[in-house]
Amino acid sequence: MKKDEEYECKKCFQIKPLKDFYNAKRNKNGKQHNCKTCQNEQNKEWCIQHSEKAKAMNRKQKARAYSSNPDKFKERNRQQYLKHAEKRKESRKIKYREDPSKEYTATKKWRLTHPEKQKALARRNQATRTSTVKGKLMYRMAASVRYSLKNGSKSGKKWENLVGYSVEDLKDHLKKKFKNGMNWDLFMQGKIHIDHIIPISVHNFEFPTDIDFKKCWALANLQPMWAMENIIKSNKLSNPFQPSLKL
């Protein structure tokens, strides 16, 4: 290596190649006086001592870089989002288990303050849920059940034929299962959910003629549950369950 390709760091006084120094147009040799290692340590100390100012400068720097090449940063952010998806999901699960009400309240607050984003997210989630035969069937089934309960027994005849009971049968069954404080007003407000004792996700079906479809939507498998309890329960099984084989 040539001598002019080396430089002495003014802080650690070590002779290092020019590649170990950051660029600096103002200096004669086009490099900073401190090597990268020393400069990084110095920058780190400064950021600790001036945390608020460092954050503001970082935001401005990112804004300038983003405005100069937004497509590049969007793609990089997308790749980072996909890379850490599982880690982020697990972190949210841990927070939710520690304090479900706090996580639920934060999510609800975000939905209220970002209505347009919430609508876009809901449309995307709905498209994902209805991308399979089972998902579309369950979406239509749940929508029909809710519509029937809201508007009376004259509607929703199709789902009644599929499950083998009427909306009045379902109402009577749920009412018998109501716990203290439960009523239909709270149900229509979304504070009470219809819970599947054995979750939908563990049943093995694609069509209404499958055995597990009948089991899934049998009255014996349905119960009213407070919304928060149902969210916490998710798709957990309290007892072992063996799905039926498709014939």
Q: For 55-66, what is each residue's pLDDT tens digit?
A: 899 888 888 888
Mean pLDDT, the chain, integer: 82
The residue with greater pLDDT, 137 or 10, is 10
CA-to-CA separations, 138 to 43, 165, 208, 243, in angstroms, rounded: 56, 17, 10, 17
pLDDT of residue 137: 65
State the pLDDT at residue 2. Answer: 44
Calpha distance 231→160 (Å, rounded): 26
Q: Is the pLDDT reported for residue 138 higher than 60?
A: yes
Average pLDDT over residues 241-246: 57
Which of 89-103, 143-157, 195-209, 211-225 has maximum average pLDDT? Answer: 211-225
Mean pLDDT along residues 125-133: 80
CA distance 147 to 145: 6
Q: Say what percent of the chain tops pLDDT 90.
A: 12
Mind listing the pLDDT tens digit for each residue in 172-191? Answer: 898 899 998 999 888 878 88
Q: Residue 170: pLDDT above 80?
A: yes
* pLDDT given for residue 154 in this prediction: 42
pLDDT score of 149: 61
- pLDDT score recorded for residue 74: 85
Tokens encoding 85: 């998806």
Q: Judge contact between 216 and 205, C-beta under 8 A.
A: yes
pLDDT-derived band at 144, boundaries 50, 70, 90 = low
The pTM of the whole model exceeds 0.85: no
CB 203 within 8 A of CB 222: no
Alpha helices in 114-242 (DSSP H): 115-129, 133-151, 157-163, 167-177, 184-188, 211-216, 227-233
- How far, in Å, CA of 197 to CA of 216, rounded? 9
Ordered DSSP codes for 24-85? -TTSTTSEEEEEHHHHHHHHHHHHHHTHHHHHHHHHHHHHHHHHH-HHHHHHHHHHHHHHTH
- Using an 8 Å Cβ cutoff, are 109 and 103 in contact? no
